[in-house]
């Protein structure tokens, strides 16, 4: 990694502080080193969130997008190559990915889009294990797919984790295992620059939160517990906070859902804390989230709905209306090029 260098800085006589041409006084505490490459302006990107390949409730190749900073309805982005539902989603600062899912047979496909440019999906590679309902997470370089169903639900679950290097097309490689085999986790992953964090899941609607270090392949470690055990969570994060919204607690049918929103501070293991509530139970089972440095946007859910809501990540409170999707959806794989795994 190379650094950006500023050459027109000289020492000011007297205290030896730096001076930039045309500027009388500069505080040394104002300087930072900006790395080059994909993370040069961390968390910048286009500011878009992309809703990939939805269930409407029938299969659809349709992708939508929103601008996270601006409330309003979603717009047409393009189509994926293969119509799948219940996939895992993740993103780099340029690319949005979906992996696995059902057609309804369980699939290994990994596709990607370039988030800043509307258009169709592109083939990236394949998972080593066909799975549906996996969770996804990513930092600036690695994308991770974890858990899911490996036989028709509610059949066999897996704790297997795979990863890809997002800048280079190719098949996924083995990473390690979660601490518990589980499924119904599409949308249930969030991330800091160093950690991928996964919450909830089925069977028996667990309250477990565990994490991996992106840089180190191996078995996950327990992080803490949710305030309410549930599956089908819609998650997201900025650089410091991870948010877990909605899902089904098993006390009612998945279509009833819950409006609970929890949060964690991702750098510090511990139990989740109450954040607020959705305005309706539209953060229901199998919704999905898209995040910037300041705002979290959640949409869809089972049974299919077109509701989009948002929260301000730094401020606990209830969700607010954002707009509407072009059609009612569930089981989508959402991604953004300004999420917490890229930093802000």
Instruction: Give the model's pLDDT for residue 281.
Output: 55
**279 is written with which tokens?**
């305005």
| C-beta of residue 150 within 8 angstroms of C-beta of residue 131 | yes
How many Cβ atoms from other residues are within 10 Å of residue 302's Cβ? 22
| Residues with Cβ within 8 Å of residue 61, at least 6 apart in sequence | 53, 79, 80, 81, 82, 83, 121
Q: Which of 213, 187, 209, 339 is nearest to 269 (CA)?
A: 209
Cα four-point dihedral sign 203, 96, 330, 226: positive
| C-beta of residue 209 within 8 angstroms of C-beta of residue 272 | yes
Q: 251, exposed or middle or buried, with CB in 10 Å at 0-12, 13-18, 19+? A: exposed
| Residues with Cβ within 8 Å of residue 156, at least 6 apart in sequence | 149, 150
Measure the CA angle with vertex 328, ends 245 and 47; round to 5°. Answer: 60
Domains and CATH numbers, the chain: 1-36 (no CATH), 48-342 (2.120.10.80)
Q: What's CA 119's distance to the chain center, in Å?
A: 21
For 290-300, the pLDDT digits (tens) are 999 999 999 98
Instruction: Provide φ and ψ at 92, rounded to 5°.
Output: -100, -170
Tell me the HSE value of 142 on the side-chain side, using a 13 A CA sphere.
Answer: 22
For 204-234, the pLDDT digits (tens) are 889 999 999 999 999 999 999 999 999 999 9
Tell me the HSE value of 110 on the side-chain side, using a 13 A CA sphere.
Answer: 27
High-pLDDT (> 70) share of the chain, %: 81
| C-beta of residue 186 within 8 angstroms of C-beta of residue 134 | yes
Q: 154, exposed or middle or buried, with CB in 10 Å at 0-12, 13-18, 19+? A: exposed
* Rg of the chain taking only CA atoms, in angstroms: 20
For 235-288, the pLDDT digits (tens) are 999 999 999 999 988 765 665 688 999 999 999 999 999 999 987 654 567 888
How many Å apart are CA 173 and CA 319, to the nearest integer?
Answer: 37
DSSP string covering 152-185: TTTS-EEEEEEEEETTS----EEEEEEEEEEB--
Q: What is the mean pLDDT of residues 76-84?
A: 92
Q: Which of 66, 126, 94 is nearest to 329 (CA)?
A: 66
**37 is written with which tokens?**
């490459």
For 117-135, the pLDDT digits (tens) are 999 999 999 999 999 999 9
Q: Is 60 exceeded by the pLDDT of residue 10? A: no
Instruction: Give the model's pLDDT for residue 250.
Output: 78
What confidence category does residue 152 fall into, taking pLDDT thresholds of 50, 70 and 90? low
For 93-125, the pLDDT digits (tens) are 999 999 999 988 999 999 999 999 999 999 999
DSSP string covering 112-153: EEETTS----EEEEEEEEEEBS-EEEE-SSEEEEEEEESSTT
How many Å apart are CA 212 and CA 219, to the nearest integer?
Answer: 7
What is the length of the chain? 344
């Amino acid at each position: 990694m190379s650094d950006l260098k500023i050459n027109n800085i000289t020492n000011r006589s007297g205290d030896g502080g730096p001076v930039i041409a045309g500027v009388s006084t500069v505080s040394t505490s104002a300087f930072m080193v900006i790395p080059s490459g994909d993370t040069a302006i961390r968390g910048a990107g286009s500011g878009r969130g992309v809703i990939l390949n939805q269930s409407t409730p029938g299969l659809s190749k349709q992708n939508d997008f929103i601008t996270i900073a601006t409330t309003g309805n979603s717009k047409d982005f393009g189509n994926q190559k293969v119509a799948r539902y219940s996939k895992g989603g993740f993103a780099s600062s340029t690319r949005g990915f979906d992996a696995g899912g059902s057609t309804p047979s369980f699939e290994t496909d990994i596709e990607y889009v370039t988030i800043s440019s509307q258009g169709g999906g592109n083939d990236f590679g394949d998972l080593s294990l066909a799975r549906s309902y996996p969770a996804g997470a990513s930092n600036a370089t690695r994308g991770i797919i974890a858990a899911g169903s490996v036989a028709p639900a509610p059949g066999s679950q897996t704790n297997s984790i795979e990863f890809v290097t997002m800048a280079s097309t190719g098949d996924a490689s083995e990473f390690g295992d979660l601490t518990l085999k589980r499924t119904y986790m599409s949308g249930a992953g969030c991330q800091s620059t160093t950690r991928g964090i996964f919450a909830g899941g089925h069977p028996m609607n667990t309250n477990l939160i565990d994490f991996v270090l992106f840089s180190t392949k191996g078995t996950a470690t327990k992080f803490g517990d949710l305030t309410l055990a549930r599956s089908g969570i819609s998650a997201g994060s900025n650089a410091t906070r991870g948010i877990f919204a909605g899902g089904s607690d098993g006390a009612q049918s998945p279509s009833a859902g819950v409006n609970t929103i929890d949060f964690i501070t991702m750098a510090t293991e511990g139990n989740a804390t109450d954040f607020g509530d959705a305005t309706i139970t539209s953060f229901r089972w199998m919704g999905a989230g898209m995040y910037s440095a300041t705002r979290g946007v959640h949409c869809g859910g089972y049974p299919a709905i077109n509701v989009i809501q948002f929260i301000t990540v730094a401020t606990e409170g209830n969700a607010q209306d954002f707009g509407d999707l072009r059609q009612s959806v569930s089981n989508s794989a959402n991604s953004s090029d300004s999420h917490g795994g890229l930093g802000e």
